[in-house]
Amino acid sequence: MTPIPHLSYIVSQSENHWTVGFAPGDDCGKYPSRRAALESALHDAVRVRELGYDVDVWVRRKDGSLRRIRAGTDPGDSASIPS
Protein backbone atom coordinates (compact mmCIF):
# COMPACT_ATOMS: atom_id res chain seq x y z
CA MET A 1 0.00 0.00 0.00
CA THR A 2 1.37 3.40 -1.00
CA PRO A 3 1.26 6.10 1.71
CA ILE A 4 -0.89 9.14 0.99
CA PRO A 5 1.19 12.33 0.84
CA HIS A 6 0.12 14.99 3.34
CA LEU A 7 0.16 18.75 2.64
CA SER A 8 -0.57 21.63 5.02
CA TYR A 9 -1.52 25.04 3.65
CA ILE A 10 -0.64 27.85 6.08
CA VAL A 11 -2.36 31.23 5.78
CA SER A 12 -0.51 34.01 7.61
CA GLN A 13 -0.11 37.77 7.67
CA SER A 14 3.09 39.30 6.34
CA GLU A 15 3.46 43.06 6.64
CA ASN A 16 0.48 44.56 4.74
CA HIS A 17 -0.73 41.42 2.95
CA TRP A 18 -1.71 37.79 3.61
CA THR A 19 0.14 34.79 2.24
CA VAL A 20 -0.52 31.12 1.57
CA GLY A 21 2.41 28.74 1.88
CA PHE A 22 3.53 25.33 3.04
CA ALA A 23 6.28 26.38 5.50
CA PRO A 24 7.45 29.62 7.14
CA GLY A 25 8.91 31.88 4.46
CA ASP A 26 7.43 29.75 1.66
CA ASP A 27 4.88 32.11 0.13
CA CYS A 28 2.87 30.70 -2.76
CA GLY A 29 0.69 33.76 -3.10
CA LYS A 30 0.04 37.23 -1.69
CA TYR A 31 -3.51 38.40 -0.99
CA PRO A 32 -5.00 41.75 0.10
CA SER A 33 -7.13 40.18 2.86
CA ARG A 34 -7.29 37.19 5.16
CA ARG A 35 -10.56 36.15 3.53
CA ALA A 36 -9.02 36.15 0.03
CA ALA A 37 -6.06 34.05 1.24
CA LEU A 38 -8.36 31.55 3.00
CA GLU A 39 -10.62 31.26 -0.05
CA SER A 40 -7.62 30.54 -2.26
CA ALA A 41 -6.17 27.96 0.13
CA LEU A 42 -9.53 26.21 0.58
CA HIS A 43 -10.26 26.10 -3.16
CA ASP A 44 -6.83 24.64 -3.86
CA ALA A 45 -7.15 22.17 -0.97
CA VAL A 46 -10.32 20.77 -2.55
CA ARG A 47 -8.54 20.39 -5.89
CA VAL A 48 -5.53 18.67 -4.31
CA ARG A 49 -7.73 16.33 -2.24
CA GLU A 50 -9.42 15.21 -5.47
CA LEU A 51 -5.95 14.19 -6.68
CA GLY A 52 -5.68 11.84 -3.70
CA TYR A 53 -3.64 13.89 -1.23
CA ASP A 54 -4.40 14.43 2.45
CA VAL A 55 -4.65 18.20 2.99
CA ASP A 56 -5.06 20.53 5.97
CA VAL A 57 -5.57 24.30 5.94
CA TRP A 58 -4.25 26.30 8.89
CA VAL A 59 -4.40 30.00 9.70
CA ARG A 60 -1.74 31.65 11.85
CA ARG A 61 -3.08 33.70 14.75
CA LYS A 62 -1.57 36.98 15.95
CA ASP A 63 0.17 35.14 18.81
CA GLY A 64 1.87 32.81 16.28
CA SER A 65 -0.20 29.72 17.07
CA LEU A 66 -2.05 27.88 14.31
CA ARG A 67 -5.77 27.20 13.98
CA ARG A 68 -6.96 24.38 11.75
CA ILE A 69 -9.75 25.25 9.34
CA ARG A 70 -12.35 22.52 9.04
CA ALA A 71 -11.95 20.36 5.95
CA GLY A 72 -15.62 20.73 5.05
CA THR A 73 -15.53 24.52 5.02
CA ASP A 74 -17.13 25.80 1.84
CA PRO A 75 -14.95 28.61 0.43
CA GLY A 76 -17.91 29.92 -1.54
CA ASP A 77 -19.99 30.43 1.61
CA SER A 78 -18.82 33.65 3.26
CA ALA A 79 -20.51 32.64 6.53
CA SER A 80 -18.32 29.52 6.76
CA ILE A 81 -14.98 31.33 6.63
CA PRO A 82 -13.78 32.20 10.14
CA SER A 83 -13.13 35.86 10.86
Q: Cα–Cα distance between 54 and 8 in angstroms, integer? A: 9
Flag whether the pTM goes above 0.85.
Answer: no
Map out the domains of the chain as residue ranges. Answer: 6-75
The pLDDT value recorded for residue 38 is 93
pLDDT of the chain, 83 residues: tens digit per residue: 677 788 899 999 988 899 999 766 677 889 999 999 999 999 999 998 899 888 999 999 989 899 999 755 555 554 444 54
The pLDDT value recorded for residue 63 is 92
